[in-house]
Amino acid sequence: MAVGGGARADGSASSASGLGRQGLAMRPNTNDTIAAIATAPGHGAVAIVRLSGQRALIVADAVLSGTPLSSAATHTVHVRRVTDAAGRELDEVLAVVMRAPRS
**Mind listing the pLDDT tens digit for each residue in 38-89?**
898 888 888 899 999 999 999 999 999 999 999 999 999 999 999 988 989 9
C-alpha distances in Å from residue 51, one per residue of 22, 25, 32, 39, 59: 27, 24, 10, 13, 8
pLDDT at position 45 is 85
C-alpha distances in Å from residue 50, one per residue of 9, 39, 40, 56, 76: 12, 9, 13, 9, 15
C-alpha distances in Å from residue 36, one per residue of 40, 53, 85: 12, 11, 21
pLDDT tens for 12-23 read 444 444 545 565
The H or E element spanning position 61 is helix 56-63
